[in-house]
Amino acid sequence: MECASVNKKSIDRIEGAIREVHDFPKPGIVFKDITPLLADGELLRLTTQMFQETLEGSEVDKVIGIDARGFIFGAALADRIGAGFIPIRKKGKLPGETSGVAYSLEYGEAHVEIHKDAVREGERVILVDDLLATGGTAGAAVKLIKDLGGQIVCVSFLIELEFLGGRKNFDSDVRVEAILTY
């Protein structure tokens, strides 16, 4: 990704702070562990700045984060740009009236939910998560937001595992950005 104010050295530092854990949570998966990045205050701020740059100057009313690591970057971004934050959570975690959608995982099914009153018709939002893998999770989140009438300005990830082809889950009208691509 081109970044005007975050230089290549910063991107390399962010990438260097992401730890790869082999065979977690199951054999054959290389898990991208962002906790060392989160523990470095300067890198966390830089990463949040880069999420802001994916907006390319567009204004949003709300930042929506996906359970659970999307909450961390999403809330930091919301604070930075003065927008509200909305969580999309795994089934059964939100206390109010919810809309939900099921989607396929590599093995089995998952289900995400949003509060029905969280997004108002026409509100402009950015959807944030740490990582785009097969795209099932973020694709389901986009559906929830659109069904509530939200206007998606951008779907932004810290990491995209390009070889898994997750972008195919998004309609062509949805702008998808990733800070780091593998």
Residues found near ligand AMP in the complex (CB under 6 A): 29-32, 66, 69, 129-138, 166
Shortest approach of ligand AMP to residue 104 CB, angstroms?
Answer: 9
Q: Which lies closer to ligand AMP via its Cβ, residue 74 or residue 135?
A: 135
Q: Which lies closer to ligand AMP via its Cβ, residue 59 or residue 162?
A: 162
Shortest approach of ligand AMP to residue 138 CB, angstroms?
Answer: 6
Q: Which lies closer to ligand AMP via its Cβ, residue 94 or residue 138?
A: 138
Who's near 142: CB < 8 A, 6+ residues apart? 127, 152, 155, 169, 170, 174
| First-to-final CA distance of the chain | 12
φ, ψ of residue 146 to 5 degrees: the values are: -65, -40
Strand partners, 21: 31
Shortest approach of ligand AMP to residue 59 CB, angstroms?
Answer: 26
